[in-house]
């Protein structure tokens, strides 16, 4: 399969914004067929409405500056689909993307034939699997995964990230996630599970309440990031007071 053929195949599945199928079953079945490559490395998953892509890119840069070999998966792309997958700061090559897409296509068709899949995975589910396979092959130290839509049923959630982050939440994709901020926050907050480390950016009160309830159900203490505009407007004395409240939370258990 050439790169052009891999693109044609993915597009034949339907445009990703028109063929959204929320759920983890397809991705979990695909990954299991490849021996669960996502279990070979830890992951960070980032959900939210505003700034999740920027947060993922900044975290990737921090990792590389610290000598950590990171795999980065973001969406959508601007020019080439290879922009979505990078390893140690380098985009996946067209040849590798085509090769891995061919492997995922073959596996998906076989699973469908065996009735282990009800339908072929979507465009986004295919590309998620390609990214995780690429990261496994490259032996990354960590994968950074930006959710595509929501969180609870987004295919990146199948990776079972050890660290999750939620950027500011606002109204978006109401037809899929719900028609209130609380409903949307619930979908995104569902990436918070027992034993994960959760980092939560400043949120509107309605969204924050839902997120904190999910943290309580999961029995974890989130790392709460305050409104940055408040920090920059504080005097040096006020900033010191704020740090005295925030820093113990971030260091109390050594993480």
How many structural domains are present in the chain?
A: 2
Let me know whether 149 and 239 are in one domain: no
User: What is the pLDDT averaged over residues 6-26?
Assistant: 78
Let me know whether 86 and 202 are in one domain: yes
* Residue the block writes with tokens 């704020």: 242
Let me know whether 94 and 173 are in one domain: yes
Let me know whether 248 and 136 are in one domain: no
- Whether the CB-CB separation of 210 and 189 falls below 8 Å is answered with yes
Domain containing 179 equals 3-224
Let me know whether 177 and 145 are in one domain: yes
CATH of the domain at 117: 3.40.1190.10
pLDDT bucket at 230, cuts 50 / 70 / 90? low
pLDDT in tens, 52-91: 999 999 999 999 999 999 999 999 999 999 999 999 999 9
Let me know whether 175 and 219 are in one domain: yes
Let me know whether 117 and 242 are in one domain: no
């Amino acid at each position: 399969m050439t790169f052009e053929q891999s693109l044609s195949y993915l597009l034949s599945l339907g445009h990703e914004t028109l063929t959204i199928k929320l759920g983890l079953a397809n991705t979990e079945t695909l990954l299991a067929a490849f021996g669960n490559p996502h279990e070979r490395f830890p992951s960070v998953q980032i959900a939210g409405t505003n700034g999740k892509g920027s947060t993922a890119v900044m975290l990737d840069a921090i990792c590389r500056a610290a000598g950590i070999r990171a795999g980065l998966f973001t969406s959508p792309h601007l020019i080439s689909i290879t922009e979505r997958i990078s390893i140690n700061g380098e985009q996946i090559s067209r040849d590798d993307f085509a090769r891995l897409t061919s492997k995922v296509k073959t596996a998906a068709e076989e699973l469908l034939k065996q009735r282990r899949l009800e339908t072929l995975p979507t465009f986004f589910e295919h590309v998620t699997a390609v990214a995780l396979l690429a990261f496994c092959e490259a032996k990354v130290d960590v994968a950074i995964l930006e959710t595509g839509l929501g969180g609870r049923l987004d295919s990146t959630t199948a990776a079972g990230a050890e660290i999750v982050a939620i950027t500011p939440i606002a109204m978006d994709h109401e037809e899929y996630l719900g028609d209130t901020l609380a409903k949307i926050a619930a979908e995104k907050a569902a990436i918070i599970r027992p034993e994960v480390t959760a980092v939560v950016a400043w949120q509107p009160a309605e969204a924050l309440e839902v997120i904190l309830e999910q943290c309580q159900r999961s029995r974890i203490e989130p790392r709460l990031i305050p409104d940055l505009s408040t920090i920059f407007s504080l005097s040096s004395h006020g900033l010191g007071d704020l740090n005295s409240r925030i820093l113990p939370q971030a260091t109390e258990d050594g993480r």
